[in-house]
Chains A and B, each alone.
Chain A
Amino acid sequence: MSRMAATRDGYGDALLALAGNPKVVVLEADLGKSTKSLHFRKAHPERTVSCGIGEQNMLLVGAGLASSGYIPFASTFAIFTERAFEQMRNGVARPNLAVHLCGSHGGTHTGTDGSSAQSIEDLAIYRTLPNVVVMHPCDDVSTKALTMQLPELGSPSYMRTARNKTPVLYDGRESEIKIGKGIVVKEGTDVAIIACGVLVHEAMVAAESLESQGVSTTVVDMHTLKPLDTELIDKLAKSCGAIVTAEDHSIIGGLGGAVAEHLITTNPIPMERIGVKDRFGESAGSDEMLEMMELKSQHISDAAKKAIARKV
């Protein structure tokens, strides 16, 4: 059994590890205990700004700090970042100020808090903003590794983390993780599953099942949705000839949308998308939610077979 951890813990660890850079500041909107910025706050209260329950203000305080040479990391729940979307658009992305926004508790995997807390559109909306890098890592190791790279990025970013624990994939493999580069976690030749976040693990389970049925399967962790690793996608389109995307996010506009938008211009091979089918969630356990939303490994393997069957 692999180690279990929540990606939000990787974010909290990274902030603390970045504290040696005196330009790093942390902004909170009363959810530091949840997003895990609290570790930084405890160690460096002088560089932590409480914005109260005011996300719109927080984003622009970050913009002001970034314009003055600081590197602000702002976090709240993914769903609450959305109420500051226009601040992110007009005050951060447009002037290209490197504010790093983290939305934790993303996706239906958030679970029993219910549909109001389950952001299923965050990746889609932030992906539409010029200059903004969008990430959704799958484990605490990659979350920490990606967050540690943000001070050098020089442009704004949005990262979704998850509330609940998932199996850890990258212990000891930090050096493989680079913003904008998808990771081939398993190689095969019949179909490629491109997943992000909590569904990377489900994709791995699906691949095991497919292999046992004689289907050679590639699994990619596409932790960065923007800029999208199109080179890798084109390579997979050629080597596998069929693609399945998998995300705990609306089927509209997220990873599936991004991959489809690219492939339609280069190599429109059969493709299936696993995602939340244009509906809201409800209160249930994480695994129950993935089952209810048809995001589990068996849904992914079924989609893989469907995509393969569509090959000419």
Chain B
Amino acid sequence: MNITELEEMARKCRVEICKMVHRAQAGHPGGSLSEIDILCALYGSRLRVQPDNPDWEDRDRFILSKGHASPGMYAVLAEMGFISHADLETYRVKGGVCQGHVDMKWCPGVDFSAGSLGMGLSYGMGCAIAAKLDGSSRNAYVMVGDGEIQEGSIWEAAMAAAHHELGNLKLFLDCNRIQNDDFCETQMRMFDIPAKWNSFGWAVKVIDGHNMSEIVSAIEWMDSITDKPAVVIANTVKGKGVSYMEDNPAFHGAAPSDEQLAIALSELGVNA
């Protein structure tokens, strides 16, 4: 897909995210909207996967470690054809493939059962080691949130991945600056995040996580790094694309009302 097509895919996914969370009257729109441009760029321009054969052994892996931002993942999986758009209506519904947090046992195309923060990078490391043992060129891509790196286990994984020189492990850090209770700055200051990753032995690049061209270039940059793990630190806006959700801690984990949904859809270019 070219940049314009990726941007259109992201717009459609944003619409689905708002609809899903509204329908369920629960879920996490803010982090889904902040991550969605990166997810669309990755799936639409790079990831080696087969939607009609989701368990293909030699596929690239994508691990959404911030598993609460599942609406974003489900919207992308529907756009890619792993699941149907009708499946999106099962978000948080009994028996549905779209469980509250992404779950590999429930949803085709989901590579990791997340929901507890700080776990996906370690899992991605295991996938990356397996790829090396297999002599495969497949990569493991992981996405974590910025609040998530407050979990100590993230740094166990960061240190171990660099030690093992896992050039096939790629990390996106969705820096939307807001966590569950409040702004990260209030909850736990993280100081110089790029310097931290750099000091752990990772290749580091900082980008605007909503500029599609920058994201696509950053993915190409990541793939050019083969001797160490690489992290793209993406500055994003929580709730991006919906005015009243943007940069608003209240929409980390809250659903829009009927009126709010109408506003969101209108802002996202959906004709009433």
Closest-CB distance, A14 to chain B (whole angstroms): 21
Answer whether A61 and B123 are a contact pair too, CB < 8 Å, given A49-B129, A52-B163, A56-B153.
yes
A165 CA to B140 CA, complexed, in Å = 43
Residues of B within 8 A of A91 (CB): 113, 116, 119, 122-123
Of the stretches B32-40, B87-95, B154-162, B219-227, the one at the interface is B154-162
Of the stretches A66-74, A176-184, A238-246, A254-262, the one at the interface is A66-74
Asked whether any CB of chain A lies closer than 8 Å to the CB of B131, the reply is yes
A57 CA to B153 CA, complexed, in Å = 6
Residues of A within 8 A of B113 (CB): 90-91, 94-95
Closest-CB distance, B100 to chain A (whole angstroms): 13
Answer whether A64 and B116 are a contact pair too, CB < 8 Å, given A47-B133, A56-B153.
no
Residues of A within 8 A of B129 (CB): 25, 49, 61, 64-65
Tell me which residues from 130 to 189 in chain B have a Cβ below 8 Å from any Cβ of chain A. Answer: 130-131, 133-134, 140, 152-153, 156-157, 159-160, 163-164
A96 CA to B57 CA, complexed, in Å = 18
Answer whether A95 and B153 are a contact pair too, CB < 8 Å, given A61-B126, A67-B126, A68-B127.
no
Asked whether any CB of chain A lies closer than 8 Å to the CB of B104, the reply is yes
A125 CA to B105 CA, complexed, in Å = 23
Residues of B within 8 A of A46 (CB): 133
Residues of B within 8 A of A70 (CB): 130, 133
Who on chain B is nearest to A68 by CB? B130
Who on chain A is nearest to B138 by CB? A68
Residues of B within 8 A of A96 (CB): 105
Asked whether any CB of chain B lies closer than 8 Å to the CB of A51, the reply is yes
Residues of B within 8 A of A51 (CB): 156, 160
Asked whether any CB of chain A lies closer than 8 Å to the CB of B124, the reply is yes
Residue of B105, B111, B123, B163 ringed by the most chain A CB atoms within 10 A? B123
Closest-CB distance, B119 to chain A (whole angstroms): 5
Instruction: Please state if A56 and B122 are interface contacts (CB–CB under 8 Å).
Output: yes
Asked whether any CB of chain B lies closer than 8 Å to the CB of A54, the reply is yes
Asked whether any CB of chain B lies closer than 8 Å to the CB of A60, the reply is yes
Of the candidates B152, B157, B164, the one whose C-beta lies within 8 Å of that of A49 is B164
Residues of B within 8 A of A63 (CB): 122-123, 126
Asked whether any CB of chain A lies closer than 8 Å to the CB of B125, the reply is yes
Interface code A135-146, partner B: CB below 8 Å = 1, 0 otherwise?
Answer: 000000000000
Asked whether any CB of chain A lies closer than 8 Å to the CB of B115, the reply is yes
Who on chain A is nearest to B157 by CB? A57
Asked whether any CB of chain B lies closer than 8 Å to the CB of A86, the reply is yes
Answer whether A69 and B57 are a contact pair too, CB < 8 Å, given A90-B113, A91-B113.
yes
Instruction: Please state if A61 and B133 are interface contacts (CB–CB under 8 Å).
Output: no
Of the candidates A54, A65, A94, A95, the one whose C-beta lies within 8 Å of that of B126 is A65
Who on chain A is nearest to B105 by CB? A95
Add 17 more A-B contacts to A52-B163, A63-B123, A91-B122 (CB < 8 A): A49-B164, A54-B156, A57-B125, A58-B122, A61-B157, A64-B124, A64-B126, A65-B126, A65-B127, A67-B123, A67-B130, A68-B57, A68-B131, A87-B122, A90-B115, A95-B104, A95-B113
Q: Would you list the 7 A-B pairs with minimal beta carbon distance, nearest first?
A: A64-B126, A68-B130, A60-B122, A54-B156, A57-B156, A61-B126, A56-B153
What are 15 sample pairs from A and B whose C-beta atoms fall under 8 A apart? A46-B133, A47-B133, A49-B129, A51-B156, A52-B159, A52-B160, A60-B122, A61-B160, A62-B126, A64-B123, A67-B123, A68-B134, A87-B119, A91-B116, A95-B113
